[in-house]
């Protein structure tokens, strides 16, 4: 009896010490991070065991990673995807040599690397992304699956991937050193006045055409692929200054049975109004982004540099007041380009042309400039 009374008192005391949140209706303890339940003792990322420069030296107790595969239909699931063979080549982290850091984002660090004598870019995901981002493993696998399907001269080429989520995940692609943003505006992240000479109009139209051809390829796939974050900093250039559409972290396949997507994704300055408003949208959201890029190429100016607005104010203006960047002067040389820009960023999605039409129009303009 004394023992039972003591147990009751201890339980009462424990309940009194619990936080108000724990007692609130509908409260449930925070679930374990994604996939952690299947990992009894997480292995450290190879990046933590070796310097950023030099040959990777994974933990000696660590066994070579087994390929983790997934099909497009199960990507983004919260539970571990079914092991279905993918199209990408699995690369052992032992084979990759990392050199200097060339980029950094909120979820990954990008290094120049070497693999079997080939210069590559290695995107190393932050392990916290897998542990603390809901669906993080799915998002990572989706980017790999998306890249593995692309085979076009103006789309970034996937070399392979080194996968062992949730411990680490690396995407290995061809190495490209310059973005369209840097080619047009020079180095630096701020929206400032031009710091380098403006490339000739013929060259700017040539770049616009290659971007359109790359996007036409993506939109004409079965199923259709929406990029959803098209902007100059996500468009790279090779040594011959040819375009590569890149960064498919927000990309999504749109099957024939789906008419539209919902949810805000992308970058405000290049984002379509229907996406900002969280309304249903389709592939024409990419056309809107392209219209902003095309205008940027023709004017040579950052979008909305004529205003003092920040990204949020720009988004509100685009969504509610039909705000658009300043157009180039209509001096008789830019008339057809201005029409194409205005159609591409029209408020009405149905008026925006397909990338097939944009490609055809730019080819005609290019031919007239050459002759």
> What CATH number corresponds to the domain at position 112?
3.30.200.20
Burial grade of 125 (CB within 10 A; 0-12, 13-18, 19 or more): buried
222 and 329 both lie in a single domain: yes
Question: 315-322: long-range contacts at Cβ-Cβ below 8 A with a sequence spacing of 24 or more?
Answer: 315/268, 315/271, 315/276, 318/268, 318/271, 318/273, 318/276, 319/273, 319/276, 319/277, 322/273, 322/347
> Is position 13 within any domain?
no
Q: Which strands, in side-by-side order, build the sheet including 108-115?
A: 54-55, 96-104, 108-115, 118-125, 168-174, 158-164
Q: Are 318 and 271 in contact (CB under 8 A)?
A: yes
Please check if 43 is assigned to a binding site: no
Q: Are residues 156 and 191 in the same domain?
A: no
- 343 and 350 Cβ atoms separated by less than 8 Å: no
Tokens representing 64 are 């070579």
What pLDDT was estimated at residue 22? Answer: 39
Q: Are both 83 and 217 inside the same structural domain?
A: no
Could you tell me if residue 6 is inside a domain?
A: no
Instruction: Name the domain count of the chain.
Output: 2
In a structure prediction context, what are the per-residue pLDDT tens digits for the chain, which is 371 residues long? 545 555 555 544 444 444 333 333 433 333 333 233 333 334 444 444 433 333 333 333 344 444 333 333 333 333 333 333 456 688 988 899 999 999 887 788 999 999 999 999 999 988 787 777 777 777 788 888 888 888 999 999 999 998 877 677 899 999 998 999 999 999 876 777 777 999 999 999 999 999 999 999 999 998 899 999 999 999 999 999 999 999 888 888 887 767 677 777 889 999 999 999 999 999 999 999 999 999 999 999 999 999 999 999 999 999 998 999 999 998 878 899 999 999 999 999 999 999 999 999 999 999 988 76
Distances (CA, A) of 349 to 194, 260, 284: 32, 12, 6
Q: For the whole model, what pTM was predicted?
A: 0.74
Can you tell me which residue has the tokens 């290695």? Answer: 122
Domain extent for 340: 178-370
User: Catalytic positions, please?
Assistant: 229
Task: Put the strands of the sheet holding 178-179 in their side by side order.
Answer: 178-179, 235-237, 243-245
**Residue at token pair 């032992």:** 94
Are 270 and 182 contacting, i.e. CB atoms less than 8 angstroms apart? no
108 and 89 in a common domain:
yes
Assess whether 352 and 220 both reside in one domain: yes
Q: What is the C-alpha separation between 256 and 218, in angstroms, rounded?
A: 14
Per-residue confidence (pLDDT) for residue 340, from 0 to 100: 98
- If asked whether residues 251 and 353 sit together in one domain, one would say yes
Q: Which of 125, 151, 174 is the last residue of a domain?
A: 174
Is 221 part of any domain?
yes
């Amino acid at each position: 009896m004394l023992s039972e009374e003591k147990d009751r008192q201890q339980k009462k005391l424990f309940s009194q010490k619990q936080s108000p949140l724990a007692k609130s209706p509908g409260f449930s303890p925070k679930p374990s991070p994604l996939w952690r339940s299947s990992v009894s003792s997480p292995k450290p990322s190879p990046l933590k065991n070796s310097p950023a420069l030099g040959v990777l030296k994974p933990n000696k107790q660590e066994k070579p990673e087994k390929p983790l595969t997934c099909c497009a239909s199960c990507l983004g699931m919260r539970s571990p995807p079914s092991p279905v063979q993918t199209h990408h080549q699995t690369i052992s982290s032992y084979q990759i040599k990392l050199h200097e850091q060339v980029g950094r984002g909120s979820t990954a660090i990008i290094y120049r690397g070497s693999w079997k004598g080939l210069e590559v870019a290695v995107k190393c995901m932050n392990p916290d992304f897998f542990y603390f981002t809901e669906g993080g493993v799915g998002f990572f696998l989706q980017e790999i699956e998306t890249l593995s399907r692309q085979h076009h001269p103006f789309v970034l080429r996937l070399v392979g991937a080194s996968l062992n989520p949730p411990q680490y995940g690396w995407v290995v692609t061809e190495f490209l050193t310059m973005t369209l943003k840097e080619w047009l505006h020079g180095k630096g992240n701020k929206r400032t006045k031009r710091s380098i000479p403006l490339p000739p109009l013929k060259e700017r139209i040539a770049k616009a055409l290659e971007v359109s051809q790359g996007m036409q390829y993506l939109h004409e796939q079965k199923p259709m692929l929406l990029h959803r974050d098209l902007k100059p900093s996500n468009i790279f250039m090779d040594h011959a200054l040819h375009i590569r559409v890149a960064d498919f972290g927000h990309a999504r396949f749109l099957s024939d049975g789906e008419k539209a997507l919902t949810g805000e994704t992308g970058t405000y300055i290049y984002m379509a109004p229907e996406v900002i408003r969280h309304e249903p949208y389709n592939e024409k959201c990419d056309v809107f982004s392209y219209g902003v890029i095309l205008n940027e190429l023709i004017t040579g100016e950052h979008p909305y540099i004529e205003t003092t607005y920040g990204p949020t104010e720009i988004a509100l203006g685009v969504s509610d007041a039909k705000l658009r960047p300043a157009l180039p002067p209509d001096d008789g040389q830019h008339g057809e380009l201005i029409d194409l820009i205005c159609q591409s960023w029209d408020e009405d999605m149905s008026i925006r042309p397909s990338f097939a039409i944009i490609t055809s129009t730019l080819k005609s303009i290019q031919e007239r400039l050459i002759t």
